[in-house]
Amino acid sequence: MSSTSPDSGSSGHTADAGDHHAHHAPLWAYASLAASTSVIGSYVGLSKLLVLVFPVFLLAFLRFGMAAIFMLPWLKRGPTEPPLTGRTRVLLFLESFFGNFLFSICLLFGMKHSSAVVAGVIMAGIPATVALMSWVFLRERIAPRTVAGIALAVGGIALVAVNKSGASAGGETSGWGALLLVGAMCCEASYVVIGKRLAADLSPRRISALINLWGLVLVTPLGLWQAMDFSFSAVAPKDWGLLLFYAIAASTVTVWLWMRGLRHVSAAKAGVFMVFLPISTAIIGLVFLGERLSGVQALAYALALAGVILATWPGQARRA
């Protein structure tokens, strides 16, 4: 009974069935994954506006702090959830360290030295990286077409990194900025793989609240350090509103939606839905930030998306 509830805390082994039982995954699980990555893509672009107002560590501190207040009720253990084990606590810390803390720092610093469109191309490599990590850590078999997909995605990323002359209206992309965004991509892939383990034991709401709380603990010293020399009175009301949206979207909505869907979908299949991230990121950059795609960036974008689809598109289940 509890396995059909979106926020149930039971193990729900249907999530581990993988492609062999993909038809058992409810439609709302796929919709949750698609919505999560679409929102992530939107705030990847909008975060470029926020780093012009707030220092990076202060921005992360305010984000986690706002979300922590909102998610206080989510910290309570549900009646069907088991107590936290030592292994689960370690996974929660790693999920927050890579998926919240380190990802935010790499992303925000990377965005200061690159355009939102370039960030979208680099983030297109996430599904291929998820497939590789799933093979290493989750023992998922990796098909030859997945290897080809990874090669395409890496080719697209490399093309963006060396194309310094293809800067858009949103600013020039440096090699340092591209490297930081690649780090953010690896952190996000780790978040998917670790989250697959956590989703079997904890409810999506509690996972969201706990990893956000760890993120707040990790960034607080750096955030307070930057807050001492920051003029809060100079921040416009619209920027506070954008920050509030960023906090709720990044720490609450996207995590909850992703964990909600991940309970019923295998890690490799879930990676398919990361295609919505670069698409929405590019749309934000083109529509709201006045950015343009150069010919080389368009080619890199196409290569990365082709790699995403090739590496993660679910194939027919084979019987041994």
What integer best gives the mean pLDDT of the chain? 78
pLDDT of residue 70: 93
pLDDT, tens digit, for every residue of 145-188?
777 777 787 777 667 656 644 444 445 667 788 889 889 889 98
Q: Which helix (H) or strand (E) holds 279?
A: helix 276-287
* Structural tokens at position 108: 């925000």
Measuring CA to CA, which residue among 246, 295, 215, 212 is closest to residue 45?
Answer: 246
What mean pLDDT do residues 228-243 have? 94
pLDDT band at 265, cuts 50/70/90?
A: confident
DSSP, collapsed to helix, strand or coil, labels residue 11 as: coil
CB-CB contact of 266 with 20 (8 Å): no
Task: Quote the crossing angle between the two packed helices 27-50 and 116-123, to the nearest 10°.
Answer: 140
Provide DSSP, 256-268: HHHHHHHTTS-HH
pLDDT of residue 72: 94
Kindly report the pTM of this predicted structure: 0.73
Give the integer Cα–Cα distance in Å for 222 and 220.
6
Express as a percent the part of the chain with pLDDT over 90. 26
DSSP, collapsed to helix, strand or coil, labels residue 168 as: strand
pLDDT of residue 40: 78
Measuring CA to CA, which residue among 140, 247, 151, 145 is closest to residue 192?
Answer: 140
pLDDT of residue 236: 94
CB-CB contact of 315 with 19 (8 Å): yes
Q: What angle is formed at CA 192 by the lines to CA 189 and CA 195, rounded to 5 degrees? A: 145
CB-CB contact of 239 with 94 (8 Å): no
Residue 310 pLDDT > 60, yes or no? yes
Give the integer Cα–Cα distance in Å for 132 and 118.
23
Residue 193 pLDDT > 70, yes or no? yes
CB-CB contact of 197 with 91 (8 Å): yes
Q: Which residue has the higher pLDDT, 59 or 12?
A: 59
Strand intervals (E) in 33-79? none
